[in-house]
Amino acid sequence: MLLESLRKEVLHANQEIARRGLAPHTFGNASGIDRNGRKPLVVIKPSGVDYASMTPADLVVADLEGKIVEGSLRPSSDLDTHTLLYREFPEIGGIVHTHSEFATSWAQAARPIPCLGTTHADYFHGPVPVTEPLTAEEVAEAYVRNTGAVIVKRFRREGLDPIGVPGVLVAGHAPFAWGRTPAEAVEHADVLEYIARLAWRSMLLDASESGIPAYVSEHHYQRKHGPRATYGQLKAANQKA
């Protein structure tokens, strides 16, 4: 069986989606990528298998064009979004898609989540962006792949760094989050839901959409990502307590 260790990481990330309540029913999926082999391989959740009974062997292995390399089950129907993001964002190693309640509510309102506090600034360098809606042509041509394409378009247009901004809201749909590993991706999906909750409640108290001063959010960002940060310090800063 290919990629045993990555399969376990991806299985664990999928189980975390359920355990943390990020997706009711089976509205969610996680994947990971191994970029070290002859060609990069993606491990992704199979479609419609219950989290409780899922084993590493149930996961599906595909290449970056979405061709199944190993696995008898059908992959998640969102596979083409995942592969496009892996192709375009070479820094990332895991992706998590949820329909978590507050992040999805912002996505449905097609509004970016402003950076209103340090909980946000510790994880996202600036607002959580929201995509343009897909056009009728994009839907007709390749709905799932173009969901990835509108994400990348937003990042390119605003010059965003997928490591500094580890997630996005797809307008009228729901969030995607990612990270260097599947575990980091699911952590970011969970934090994204939490900052969506905080920001939603703050906006109803008439918080200013301009958010905290840039020198505060930059301070937090540099603690994690600046030239003086090492990965170990990053991890510790990340934990924040």
Q: Active-site residues: which are they? A: 122, 231
Two tokens, residue 182: 């599947």
In angstroms, rounded to a whole number, what is the distance separating the alpha carbons of residues 241 and 228? 19
Q: Which CB sits closer to a copy of itself, 1 or 109?
A: 109
- Give me the sheet containing 41-44, strands edge to edge: 68-70, 60-63, 41-44, 29-34, 94-97, 175-179, 167-169
Query: Which positions ≥6 away from 85 have C-beta within 8 Å?
Result: 92, 95, 148, 151, 152, 176, 178
Query: What is the nearest approach in angstroms of a copy of itself to the Cβ of residue 137?
Result: 9
What distance in Å separates the CA atoms of residue 87 and residue 91, rounded to the nearest whole number? 10
Q: Single out the residue of 96, 85, 82 nearest to residue 28, CA to CA.
A: 96
Instruction: From 94, 77, 105, 78, select the one nearest 33 (Cα to Cα).
Output: 94
Least distance (Å) from a copy of itself to the CB of residue 139? 5
3-class DSSP state for residue 23? coil
CB of 164 to a copy of itself, least distance (A): 19
Q: What end-to-end distance do the CA atoms of the chain give, in Å?
A: 40
**Least distance (Å) between residue 68 CB and a copy of itself:** 15
Distance from C-alpha of 57 to C-alpha of 59, rounded to nearest angstrom: 5
Interatomic CA distance for residues 87 and 135, integer angstroms: 22
* Minimum gap (Å) between residue 189 Cβ and a copy of itself: 12
Name the site residues for a copy of itself (rule: CB under 8 A). 23-29, 45, 47-48, 74, 76-78, 97, 99, 101-102, 104-111, 116-119, 133-134, 136, 139-140, 143, 172-174, 187, 190-191, 194, 197-207, 211-213, 215-216, 219, 235-237, 239-241
- 9 vs 190 by CB, closer to a copy of itself: 190
Q: Which is nearer to a copy of itself, 70 or 118 (CB)?
A: 118
Shortest Å distance, C-beta 35 to a copy of itself? 24
Judged by beta carbon, residue 9 or residue 187, the one nearer a copy of itself is: 187
- Nearer Cβ to a copy of itself (56/222): 222
| Contact status, residue 147 vs residue 170, Cβ threshold 8 Å | yes
Q: Which is nearer to a copy of itself, 36 or 52 (CB)?
A: 52
